[in-house]
Amino acid sequence: MGAMPADKNTLLDNLISTTKLLNYPKIKQLSKEFPKYYVKEIAKSELQNIRDIILNTPAESLDAVDISSESIEAKVDMRVRAEFRPSIRPAINAAGIILHTALGRAPFAEAAQEALMNAVRNYCTLAVDVPTGKRGDRYVHVEGLLKYLTGAQAACVVNNNAAAVLLVLNTLAEGKEVVISRGQLVEIGGAFRIPDVMHRSGAVMVEVGTTNRTHLYDYEEAINENTGMVQVVHHSNYRITGFAGEVPLADLKPLSKKHNIPLVEDIGSGCLIDFTHYGLPPEPMVQDSIKAGADVVTFSGDKILGGPQCGIIIGKKTYVDRIKKNPLCRALRSDKLTYSVLEATLKLFLDRKTLFEKHPVLHMLTLQTRTIGNRARSFVRKFKPVLGKECEIDVINGESQMGSGSLPAQFIPTKLVSLKSKNMSADELGYKLRMSEPPVFSRITEDRILLDFRTIHPREIQTLADVVVEALRNSRV
């Protein structure tokens, strides 16, 4: 009574020993490639997993449990290789969202990649005054460029735009009131909410106006001797249409000047060029905010700017100097990886003739649908002879998105490859594509996989075709 059924015992007794398993060819090979001790640990852990499975499986289902030494060998091999594979690795963005936050936002320009390697391969001049050899200032690498490109008097860089907003509020308005329009109390993806950031900064939020309309007199009435700042926020990721209106920054300037209160704008994206010149919908430009009288402007380095994750603060020298001296600024500072990539990215904006060719985000954004269509068709040509029978494949019209809260209501015409497998659902194929190496991220509509060739680089097309063929073949069991 209570004794284990005999066949469980037999199975456990027949299980390969750790010592023997370690002598199997795949495991021996693993021990050459990876730390031996670690391979042994994984082998032991896989054997324990099998023992647990045997113990927990009802006697009548035991036949289905594969306890062959080869299957355990294969499991150990897979697990060790999976654990040593880099967790951050290249992925193919076939989703057509140019600034895909989950996929790392902007891919870097070649010059930025080189600058990064040069900064990290050895020592670099991050914060040294080269002539004197004394401790210098890390802002110098980009401050001149930012001043030149935006027309601001001074600049400073921190971890991201969320940090920039927090730091500016804390420096200029801790313990004071900050006047802001109700229409601008926005939430940006990833839990960045203006009211929460304001609260954490130690400033007191004073909301004025209504969700859809705010007037100059609303600001005027709210200003008093406790007011520390007027904050304007660009509602990057949504639009209010219809009976709606905000007070333009330029109209707020006289008010802020009269009361000697800094006028601060969180512009979000950090656009440095006039999009309308390139047939794109308008996006507010940083230099226009400075021209219109903003005392401080904050924006992201890795949205339309196409640089590394960082937050850029520009504006009047008196304010930026105070911001740089805030101890929080030290806590939020950026490192050599960021500075090297940012400097190289900003330099691309000095030459408008080569900018769109060298800057990956702007390049993808302005690709002609004809070019995208050619790439999609070249993919279909590579692919159709191999698997054309098992899958419907077409090139269709569709829309790309900017992503990351830039150009929110704008869909950009594109060409998509639409795939419909005869053997599996789009969800299943989408899963297989994500689990491939490299992982491929696509869109699904009406049980079809859609691959947007705007965000697929030409050098990725062959790899993508291989991945798709493999994923579709795996369905044939």
Altogether, the residues listed in the chain come to a count of 477
Please identify, using beta-carbon distances, which residue of 114 and 207 lies nearer to ligand PLP: 207
209 counts as binding ligand PLP under rule CB under 6 A: no
Could you say which of 307, 315, 405, 430 contacts ligand PLP (CB under 6 A)? 405
Coil, strand or helix: which one is 440? strand
d(CA 362, CA 346) in angstroms, rounded, equals 13
356 counts as binding ligand PLP under rule CB under 6 A: no
The sign of the CA dihedral 338, 343, 349, 354 is: negative
300 counts as binding ligand PLP under rule CB under 6 A: yes
The beta-strand segments (E) located in 132-281 are: 134-135, 154-158, 177-181, 187-188, 192-193, 204-208, 227-233, 263-268
Residues facing residue 413 across a β-bridge:
399
Could you say which of 142, 229, 232, 233 contacts ligand PLP (CB under 6 A)? 233
Could you say which of 99, 142, 166, 188 contacts ligand PLP (CB under 6 A)? 188
Window contacting ligand PLP (CB under 6 A); options: 64-72, 161-169, 411-419, 439-447: 161-169
401 counts as binding ligand PLP under rule CB under 6 A: no
398 counts as binding ligand PLP under rule CB under 6 A: no
Rg of the chain in Å (alpha carbons)? 29
Coil, strand or helix: which one is 441? strand
Please give the full DSSP string across 382-398, using - where no structure is assigned. Answer: HHHHHHTTTEEEEEEEE
Is the distance from CB of 379 to CB of 465 less than 8 angstroms?
Answer: yes
Window contacting ligand PLP (CB under 6 A); options: 150-158, 167-175, 230-238, 286-294: 230-238
Alpha helices in 316-368 (DSSP H): 317-325, 327-331, 336-348, 352-358, 360-365
349 counts as binding ligand PLP under rule CB under 6 A: no
Which H or E element spans position 430? helix 426-434
228 counts as binding ligand PLP under rule CB under 6 A: no
Distances (CA, A) of 219 to 49, 232, 256: 66, 11, 10
Please identify, using beta-carbon distances, which residue of 161 and 414 lies nearer to ligand PLP: 161
Could you say which of 214, 231, 236, 421 contacts ligand PLP (CB under 6 A)? 236
Could you say which of 209, 262, 311, 430 contacts ligand PLP (CB under 6 A)? 311
Please identify, using beta-carbon distances, which residue of 11 and 164 lies nearer to ligand PLP: 164
Window contacting ligand PLP (CB under 6 A); options: 61-69, 122-130, 155-163, 321-329: 155-163
Window contacting ligand PLP (CB under 6 A); options: 141-149, 231-239, 242-250, 330-338: 231-239
Please identify, using beta-carbon distances, which residue of 266 and 343 lies nearer to ligand PLP: 266
Q: ∠363-367-372 over CA atoms, to 5°?
A: 130
**Residue 368: CB minimum distance to ligand PLP, A:** 28
Q: Is cis: bond before 438, omega within 30 of 0?
A: yes
Question: Residue 162: which of 139, 124, 196 has the closest Cα?
Answer: 196
Please identify, using beta-carbon distances, which residue of 408 and 438 lies nearer to ligand PLP: 408
Could you say which of 209, 268, 306, 430 contacts ligand PLP (CB under 6 A)? 268
Query: Tokens at residue 195, please?
Result: 């009211």
d(CA 148, CA 318) in angstroms, rounded, equals 18
**Residue 401: CB minimum distance to ligand PLP, A:** 15
Helix 461-473 and helix 426-434, axial crossing angle in degrees, nearest 10: 120
284 counts as binding ligand PLP under rule CB under 6 A: no
Could you say which of 234, 358, 443, 448 contacts ligand PLP (CB under 6 A)? 234
Looking at beta carbons, which residue is closest to ligand PLP? 268
**Residue 268: CB minimum distance to ligand PLP, A:** 3
Query: Tokens at residue 221, please?
Result: 């009435």
93 counts as binding ligand PLP under rule CB under 6 A: no
Chain residues binding ligand PLP by CB under 6 A are 160-162, 165, 188, 192, 233-234, 236, 266, 268, 300, 311, 405
